[in-house]
Amino acid sequence: MFGIINVYKPRGMTSHDVVSVLRRITKIRQIGHTGTLDPFAEGVLPICIGKATRLIEYLADDKAYIGTIQLGKSTTTYDTEGDVINVSDKTVTLKEIEEALQHFIGDIEQYPPLYSAIKVNGKKLYEYARKGENVEIKPRKVNITCLKILNYDEKHRQAKIYIECSKGTYIRSIANDLGEILGTHGYLLNLIRSKAGIFVLENSINLNNIKTIADIQMHLINPIKCINLPCKEINETDLKRISNGNPLKLNIQDGEIILTNNNSLISIGTVSSGIFKCHKVFI
């Protein structure tokens, strides 16, 4: 089995849990996800099966999320799973929230939550947090291209937001930081990843609906459709040369390309001065 499946991860499961379920169904060990999604969150989680795991580095890693921020309180984890540590009676208007969100647009430096899997000196941050140990947390550069309010319930002080961002962006940190900017505290009530590269919510299959190999095969995507590189169809003779590790002459523009045969991914490599240099072979 070789391909990518766009799985909808239910809340309460880890990304590794999803991989384990698919391994149990397929009996295939070579399965991997394209980016961790916290147990607290749900939504799009592309899974690579078989040799497709070698393509993860070629998949677009921009993300989009829909989340609800609760203002007026903050927690140790920046979401509902932590203990409440700050409370404020201050109310804010929709206009104030919209203005505050502008602080997050573009390239920013973001401090990740203390309760996260980022490693410092070989240990995950949440390991320090659970032991009550102090550790220096350094900001990380992330990029946010779109951040807007979808709905604001002023009575309950809940703001539903949509965000498009780079890999590694913590929406929990945005919730916490937004509350601090507004002077009223904040944490994340819920979070749905609606997009991961080309994979979107509307085309995902809920993990709970995957019971058999047939369910997976029905939704398996040809990797050729998932990689933004030009394709070159090769004949059987060229296919044999690639299989034997021989160089291949191609009369095409220099650059990185995908070689295919009968709509199957054969190789990814680089053309330079008409010679194809293979980086990865999938036959």
Q: Would you name the residues annotated as active-site residues?
A: 38
Type of residue found at 224:
I
Q: Which residue is associated with the tokens 């809940």?
A: 158
Tokens for 232?
């070159």
Contacts of 182 (CB under 8 A, 6+ apart): 71, 90, 92, 96, 97, 100
User: Which residues make beta-bridge pairs with 205?
Assistant: 7
Q: Which residue is associated with the tokens 């509350």?
A: 179
Contacts of 162 (CB under 8 A, 6+ apart): 64, 65, 66, 146, 147, 148, 150, 194
For 170, phi and psi rounded to 5 degrees? -100, 115
SS3 for 211? Answer: coil
Q: Are 69 and 189 in contact (CB under 8 A)?
A: yes
Report the residue count for the chain.
283
Q: CA dihedral in degrees (254, 255, 256, 258; nearest 10)?
A: -40
SS3 for 40? Answer: coil
Q: Which residue is associated with the tokens 């993990």?
A: 207
Let me know the angle formed at the C-alpha of 199 by 194 and 205, rounded to the nearest 5 degrees: 80
Beta strands in 154-208 (DSSP E): 158-165, 186-196, 199-200, 205-206
